[in-house]
């Protein structure tokens, strides 16, 4: 699984737990998809804030690349607000 390998590599490099590394990679990939949709639809941060029911400052922080205090819940609200549906694939660990 691509996400897991990147996440595990990241975790080793940063000295964090494997699940935190995987979570960071998943968040980053979701946020990249959100940014592409925001640009394609020419949405403002205010519009996205209203659609997602998140504070504008949170939207701006997330879209600016800050992963600090960014929960999966908030990212998924943005995913939904731009009209995307995430897919997750799992596999057994080797």
> How long, in residues, is the chain?
94
Q: DSSP states of 26-91 as a string? A: HHHHHHHHHHHHHHHHT--HHHHHHHHT--HHHHHHHHTT--TT--HHHHHHHHHHTT--------
Could you read off the pLDDT of 31-80 as tens digits, one per residue?
A: 999 999 999 999 999 999 999 999 999 999 999 987 677 899 999 999 99
Please compute the mean of the pLDDT values over residues 6-18 and round it to a whole number: 81
Domain boundaries, the chain: 2-81
Pair 82, 48: CB distance under 8 Å: yes
pLDDT at 5 (0 to 100): 77
pLDDT at 81 (0 to 100): 98
pLDDT at 76 (0 to 100): 96
Structure pTM? 0.83
């Amino acid at each position: 699984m691509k996400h897991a390998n990147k996440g595990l590599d990241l975790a080793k490099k940063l000295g964090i737990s494997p699940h935190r590394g995987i979570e960071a990679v998943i968040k980053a990939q979701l946020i990249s998809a959100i940014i592409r949709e925001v640009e394609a639809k020419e949405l403002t941060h205010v519009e996205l804030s209203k659609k997602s029911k998140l504070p504008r400052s949170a939207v701006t922080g997330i879209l600016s690349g800050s992963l600090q205090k960014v929960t999966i819940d908030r990212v998924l609200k943005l995913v939904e607000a731009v009209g995307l549906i995430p897919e997750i694939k799992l596999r057994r660990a080797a």
